[in-house]
Amino acid sequence: MTHLTGKTVAIIATDFVEEPELVEPRDALREAGATVKIYSSSTDPIQAVQGDTDPSGTIDVDGTFDDLDAGAIHALVVPGGTVNADRIRVDHRAQDIVRRVMEDRRPLAAICHGPWLLVSAGLVRGRSLTSYHSLADDVRNAGGTWTDEEVVVDGNLITSRDPDDLPAFIKALEDALT
């Protein structure tokens, strides 16, 4: 199935990204015909983890945040992993990327702890979203409405809670790209 041929999706992540939250969307989107590229704070491979703490493999990146032209992509994915999310949320380049994607009303899909970046970028006020349950207060304190659902779609914003929600998360992202 190649219904996403011609679409370009960027994934932004750093070390200690939750592996399935990066790999499963990447692979599904590529299988559907999209071009998917991974960007990080450096060009070094990303250390992935399982369950937030157990190192798994490394993931090659296609470039740095500085190399990503947010205006040239059709969608952006922000995977979780507590350490990854805590690092990326304070990176001003990553904040600028998510702001640009939101301004352009392109699909922005964040899962698990990934919505921390949206909080830090000032993008959740007035929005409905979900995340890993420990971020609920952060979302509410930033003016968003947090709900405990496997996927929440609010305009171009797609959010999910954790790796168990990946099938619904990926479907929502693919639907937004078609």
Coil/strand/helix, residue 129 = strand
In this predicted structure, what is the pLDDT of residue 71?
95
Q: pLDDT value at position 84?
A: 97
Extract the tokens encoding 157. Answer: 């914003």
Task: Give the max Cα distance, the chain.
Answer: 42
How many Cα atoms sit within 13 Å of 50 on the Cβ side? 4
- Reported as a single tens digit per residue, the pLDDT across 128-172 is 999 999 999 999 999 999 999 999 999 999 999 999 999 999 999
Residues in contact with 15: Cβ distance below 8 Å, sequence separation at least 6, in sequence order: 46, 47, 83, 84, 87
Report pLDDT for 145.
98
Residues, the chain, total? 178
Helix ranges (DSSP H) in the chain: 19-31, 82-88, 92-103, 115-120, 136-141, 166-177
Joined together, the tokens standing for residue 52 give 């937030």
What is the per-residue pLDDT across 32-87, written as a single tens digit (0 to 9) for each? Answer: 999 999 999 999 999 999 988 899 999 999 999 999 999 999 999 999 999 999 99
Residues with a known catalytic role: 113
Q: Looking at the domain that runs over 8-175, which CATH code has it been given?
A: 3.40.50.880
pLDDT at residue 46, rounded to an integer? 97
Q: What is the pLDDT of residue 53?
A: 86
Q: How far apart are alpha carbons 115 and 98 in whole angstroms?
A: 10
- Phi/psi for 159 (5° steps) reads -135, 150
Mean pLDDT calculated for residue range 110-132? 98
Q: What is the pLDDT of residues 1-14, one digit of tens each?
A: 479 999 999 999 99
Domain extent listing, the chain: 8-175
